[in-house]
Chain A
Amino acid sequence: GDSVTQMEGPVTLSEEAFLTINCTYTATGYPSLFWYVQYPGEGLQLLLKATKADDKGSNKGFEATYRKETTSFHLEKGSVQVSDSAVYFCALPSMNSGYSTLTFGKGTMLLVSP
Chain B
Amino acid sequence: DAGVIQSPRHEVTEMGQEVTLRCKPISGHNSLFWYRQTMMRGLELLIYFNNNVPIDDSGMPEDRFSAKMPNASFSTLKIQPSEPRDSAVYFCASSLGRKITVNTEAFFGQGTRLTVV
Interface residues of A (CB under 8 A from B): 32, 34, 36, 41-46, 49-51, 89, 93, 95-107
Contacts and interface: CB of A to CB of B under 8 A. Distances in A.
B108 A99 contact: no
Contact of B100 (A89, A97, A100): A100
A102 B42 contact: no
Contacts of A51: 101-102
B99 A95 contact: yes
A103 B42 CA distance: 11
A101 B100 contact: yes
Interface of B: 4, 31, 33, 42-43, 45, 48, 50, 55-56, 91, 93, 98-102, 105-111
List of 5 A-B pairs having minimum Cβ-Cβ separation, nearest first: A106-B42, A93-B100, A43-B108, A44-B108, A104-B43
Contacts of B111: 42-43
Interface SS, A side: strand
Nearest to B99: A100
B48 A43 contact: no
Given A43-B91, A44-B91, A105-B42, A100 B98 contact: yes
A105 B93 CA distance: 17
A50 B91 CA distance: 24
Nearest to A46: B105
A93 B42 contact: no
B55 A99 contact: yes
Given A32-B101, A43-B110, A102-B100, A96 B56 contact: yes
B98 A50 contact: no
Contacts of A100: 98-100
Given A89-B43, A99-B98, A42 B105 contact: no
Nearest to B91: A43
B105 A34 contact: yes
Nearest to A36: B108
A45 B108 contact: yes
Given A32-B100, A99-B56, A102-B45, 14 more contacts: A32-B101, A34-B105, A42-B110, A43-B110, A43-B111, A44-B93, A96-B56, A99-B31, A101-B45, A101-B100, A102-B33, A103-B45, A107-B42, A107-B43
